[in-house]
Amino acid sequence: MLFSMRKEKMINIFTVDLEEWFHANYKSLIIDENSTCSNRVVENTMVLLELLDSYRAQATFFVLGYVAQRFPKLIKTISDMGHEIASHGYSHELIYKQNRKKVF
């Protein structure tokens, strides 16, 4: 690993949108309890957490409610490792596809 020779502490700014691969573009798959889409978020997040840990870096994880509801242990692991948890809404519904009443 490469570390800076500077004596002052380096500030890391890193954020993660924690969502499944199908959340951004496939609204019909987001809420469907019978969906056969594979869940990859846990395995992929664990790889990222190990990488962040190896560099002693912290991040803010913007978590979809959908992910938090289905994988609460993952969210606890992220928090226990010292990362910040923030909300990213429930289902990643695109703002330009929502009506005014729903947004406000």
**Would residue 9 count as lying in a domain?**
no
Give how many domains the chain has, as a whole number.
Answer: 1
pLDDT at 59 over 70: yes
pLDDT, residue 2, reads 47
Look up the pTM and report it: 0.73
Q: What values do phi and psi take at 100, rounded to 5?
A: -55, -40
- Which CATH number is 57's domain given? 3.20.20.370
Q: Over pLDDT 70: what percentage of the chain?
A: 66
**Would residue 65 count as lying in a domain?**
yes
**Would residue 31 count as lying in a domain?**
no
**Would residue 74 count as lying in a domain?**
yes
**Would residue 20 count as lying in a domain?**
yes
- Greater pLDDT, 50 or 104: 50
**Would residue 67 count as lying in a domain?**
yes
> What range defines the domain where residue 89 resides?
15-26+40-103
- Per-residue pLDDT reduced to its tens digit, 4-44: 555 666 666 899 988 876 666 655 555 555 565 667 889 99
Give residue 1's pLDDT band: very low, low, confident or very high (50, 70, 90): very low
Taking each helix axis from N to C terminus, what angle separates 41-54 and 72-80, rounded to the nearest 10 degrees? Answer: 0
Q: Is 34 exposed, middle or buried (0-12, 13-18, 19+ CB in 10 A)?
A: exposed
